[in-house]
DNA sequence: GCGTTAGTATGATCCGGGTCATAAACCTCT
DNA sequence: AGAGGTTTATGACCCGGATCATACTAACGC
């Protein structure tokens, strides 16, 4: 048996390949699969939510910009993951904007179809709850970090978090952190310079490794 | 028709009196109503979640302590509100601890009963999703604030948020902020002194009012 | 291969909010 | 009424990370 060599499908977060909602079910409930370019805006802060979104291919970033143009990344979503449900189910405007980080494909489904799907599929509904709950966990974690820990602690926490998602055996394995210094800064509320300095310091102290510019942990 | 004068039931957040799950339904699914004292710990960070919780009377605070003993408040829950579902549905350890702020009564229900209740009651299940989504909205809001705004902005945002929950007509009405400086500090990741100074400054600039020590906005 | 851009690196400077100390005002309980 | 605890208040000092400037380097498009 041969494995498909289609490299652009290779996931950054392997376990995330499992879709929140399977493709067949999405089709049954009139979801449409739309092609997207890199850097395409999917929705903007303040707008009303009308659709359910699920990444099929590519990556999506949710972010907010403050008036000085500084960005804070609220989340990054990989293939199989859904996003933007909170404003849809909670009936409030989008608190952040969403943009594609690379070209790909996105499932979209109207709220009414989505709700009907949940009504008909209790297991999917519970799966959705799990997704929402994990997202709350992530936000609690970051909030705790940003509110009271120094740069080194924040970076270690976020690196460990993503490692636990990437690695099959997080305790034995070493992984390459799939983010730039700027992305780490945007996720932890730090400045690029601070991330660069802190990462360097941690390397000197043997707390992580650098391979070229790649961070290994 | 007479209204009950039982004052201790009077809610700080009136609209929250509506229960996530109605009492009758809770009883049907073997939930038990337990009396709690003030400052009673309901669960601790790191423990495994086994029960669904819903406040019947009193208030509950979820918080984390960092090693220096500094607290960050992850949320405060009033009568009718549920709490602690994320670790229950997401299968991860509690990211924070929960303590009662006053004596009261709390509903507890086992996970299996809770899941069965959701399976049997689609409307409640959707209501739960709404609650989870609103909680994500709150966390996104606070995270955005803590990651990139100054004390004045943070305080205004949180005060406006709670005002919108308390007031019937937030735009016309003035409300008394139901928190001490310390509580505001714990919710915004600031120090008491900073909150005190910032509130004073804002009063001088006419951005809010002080009645004795109470903050009016 | 070369030009362009994104990402990394490093030093100098600054300042907002944390920290510490001390005290006053207020609330609560007996 | 008085004691004890909690909340608010205010000043002095300090320091970690933001800011600004500048440069190097790896990666990418053509």
| Closest-CA distance of chain A to residue B6, Å | 32
Q: Which residues of A touch B123 (CB under 8 A)?
A: none
Cα gap B7→B11, rounded to integer Å: 9
Kindly state whether B149 is in contact with chain A, defined as any CB-CB distance less than 8 angstroms: yes
Q: How far apart are the first and last CA of chain B?
A: 35
Q: Which of B90, B135, B144 minimises the CB distance to A72?
A: B144
Nucleotide nearest to A182 (CA to C1'): C7
Using the beta-carbon criterion (under 8 Å), do B135 and A136 form an inter-chain contact? yes
pLDDT of residue A39: 84
Band (pLDDT 50/70/90 cuts) for residue B101 is: confident
Using the beta-carbon criterion (under 8 Å), do A139 and B139 form an inter-chain contact? yes
Nearest alpha carbon to residue B143 among B154, B133, B132, B134? B154
Best mutation target among B122, B133, B150, B165 (most A Cβ atoms within 10 Å) is B133
Residue B39 has pLDDT above 70, yes or no: yes
B134 or B67: which carries more pLDDT confidence?
Answer: B134
In this structure, how many other beta carbons lie within 10 angstroms of the beta carbon of residue A37? 10
Average pLDDT over residues B157-172: 85
In this structure, how many other beta carbons lie within 10 angstroms of the beta carbon of residue B128? 24
What is the value of pTM for the model shown? Answer: 0.89
Using the beta-carbon criterion (under 8 Å), do B147 and A72 form an inter-chain contact? yes
Distance B189 CA to C17 C1' (A): 11
Strand D contacts (Cβ < 7 A) comprise A 68, 70, 150-151, 189-191, 193-194, 212-213; B 180-182, 192-193, 196-197, 199-200, 210, 213
Q: Which residue matches tokens 């970051």?
A: A142
pLDDT of residue B213: 85
Q: For residue B74, what is the DSSP state?
A: E
Query: Is residue B104 within 8 Å of B58, Cβ to Cβ?
Result: yes
Query: Is residue A83 within 8 Å of A135, Cβ to Cβ?
Result: no
Q: Write out residues in chain A with pLDDT < 50, as ranges.
A: 1-16
pLDDT of residue B212: 81
Distance B41 CA to D5 C1' (A): 22
Band (pLDDT 50/70/90 cuts) for residue B90 is: very high
Q: In angstroms, what CA-CA distances link A99 with A50, A208, B195?
A: 17, 31, 36
Q: Is the dihedral of CA A20, A22, A25, A31 positive or negative?
A: positive
What are the residues whose beta carbons fall under 8 Å from the beta carbon of A23, sequence distance 6 or more? A56, A107
Residue B1 has pLDDT above 50, yes or no: no
pLDDT of residue B181: 93
pLDDT of residue A12: 46
Q: Is A142 helix (H, G, I), strand (E, B) or coil?
A: helix
pLDDT of residue B15: 45
Using the beta-carbon criterion (under 8 Å), do A144 and B86 form an inter-chain contact? no
| Closest-CA distance of chain B to residue A3, Å | 32
Q: In angstroms, what CA-CA distances link A140 with B96, B97, B139, B209?
A: 9, 12, 7, 32
Best mutation target among A49, A66, A131, A136 (most B Cβ atoms within 10 Å) is A136
pLDDT of residue A17: 63
Q: Is A17 helix (H, G, I), strand (E, B) or coil?
A: helix
pLDDT of residue A11: 39
Q: What is the largest CA-CA distance in chain B?
A: 56
Q: What is the mean pLDDT of chain B?
A: 87
Cα gap A215→B94, rounded to integer Å: 30
Band (pLDDT 50/70/90 cuts) for residue B57 is: confident
Nucleotide nearest to B210 (CA to C1'): D8
Provide the chain B residues 60-79 that lie in CB contact (below 8 A) with chain A.
64, 66, 70, 72, 74
Cα gap B159→B150, rounded to integer Å: 14
Average pLDDT over residues B32-50: 91
Nearest alpha carbon to residue A9 among A49, A59, A43? A59
């Amino acid at each position: 048996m041969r494995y498909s060599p289609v490299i652009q499908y290779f996931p950054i977060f392997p376990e995330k390949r499992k879709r929140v909602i399977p493709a067949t079910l999405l089709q049954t409930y009139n979801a449409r699969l739309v092609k997207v370019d890199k850097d395409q805006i999917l929705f903007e802060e303040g707008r009303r939510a009308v659709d359910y979104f699920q990444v099929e291919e590519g990556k999506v970033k949710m972010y907010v910009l403050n008036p000085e143009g500084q960005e804070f990344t609220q989340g990054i979503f990989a293939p199989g993951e859904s996003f933007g449900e909170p404003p849809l189910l909670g009936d409030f405007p989008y608190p952040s904007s969403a943009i594609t980080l690379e070209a790909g494909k996105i499932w979209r489904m109207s709220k009414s179809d989505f709700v009907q799907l949940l009504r008909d599929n209790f297991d999917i509904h519970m799966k959705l709850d799990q997704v929402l709950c994990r997202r709350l966990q992530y936000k609690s974690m970051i909030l705790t970090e940003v509110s009271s820990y120094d740069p080194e602690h924040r970076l270690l926490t976020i690196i460990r978090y993503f490692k636990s998602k990437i690695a099959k055996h997080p305790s034995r394995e070493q992984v390459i952190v799939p983010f730039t210094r700027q992305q780490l800064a945007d996720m932890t509320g730090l400045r690029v310079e601070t991330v660069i300095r802190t990462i360097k310091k941690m390397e000197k102290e043997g707390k992580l490794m650098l391979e070229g510019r790649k961070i290994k942990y």
